[in-house]
Structure 1
Amino acid sequence: MWMVQCSFHLDGSQELSVIHLDTIICALHLLPMFSDQFIDNDVLFHNSLDLFTSFYVNQFVDHNSFDILS
């Protein structure tokens, strides 16, 4: 699996960009990179991208994404 993480500018601010809807091919399955500590109960689906800094991209989630990402 590939590993991805957020990119930041030199001043520490997060790099952001707009992705046009017609360029999205399919959704990805992101798995957070867990540490050896317990996860807080406040981690939910809507804030997990903000609380974790690195993710695994699951390219084997379906055959279409496997063909596109390989």
Structure 2
Amino acid sequence: MSAAWVHLFFSFKYQDNMYPCTLMHWFNMYGRSQDPNTGLWIMQPAYHDSHQHRRHLVVIHLDTLLCGVHLIPNYGPCPLNHAVKFYHSLDAFSMYDVNRLADYHANEILF
């Protein structure tokens, strides 16, 4: 099971078949076990290079998505800057907790 950030939903037609797809940025699991304090898995965005300039983006068919997850930013020990808006949160932080308790389905099937 993996987590990803959906950037775009789109579809295209090829040989009279419609293909609904999404452009996604993968997240990698951080560590081999859940956080001992929260019990949640920690994820971080995946990149192709060590300088974190080239995001690991993929195009996949919508049928391969299982369910939505709630990624909670790992805020760290410092106060949150007021300039960070909700729509920048996936760009502003480097680690996230996967909230498997966000809904019934996520709790039953995630990790």
Deviation at 1:50, TM superposition (A): 0.3
The one of 25, 45, 63 aligned to 1:6: 45
Unaligned regions of 5+ residues in structure 1, if any? none
Unaligned regions of 5+ residues in structure 2, if any? 1-39
Q: Report which of the two has the higher share of helix.
A: 1
Which amino acid is 2:48 matched to? H
Runs of 4 or more, structure 1, over 3 Å off, are: none
Deviation at 1:9, TM superposition (A): 1.9
Q: Report which of the two has the higher share of strand.
A: 2
Deviation at 1:46, TM superposition (A): 1.0
Q: Does 1:52 align with 2:93?
A: yes
Per the normalisation by structure 1, the TM-score is 0.81
- Encode CA deviations 1:14-65: one digit per residue, 9 max, x unaligned: 2211233222222111111111112111212211000011100011122211
Per the normalisation by structure 2, the TM-score is 0.55
Larger Rg: 2
- Across the aligned residues of Structure 1 and Structure 2, the Cα RMSD in angstroms comes to 1.7
Percent identity between matched residues is: 36
What number of residue pairs does the alignment pair up?
A: 70
Deviation at 1:11, TM superposition (A): 5.4
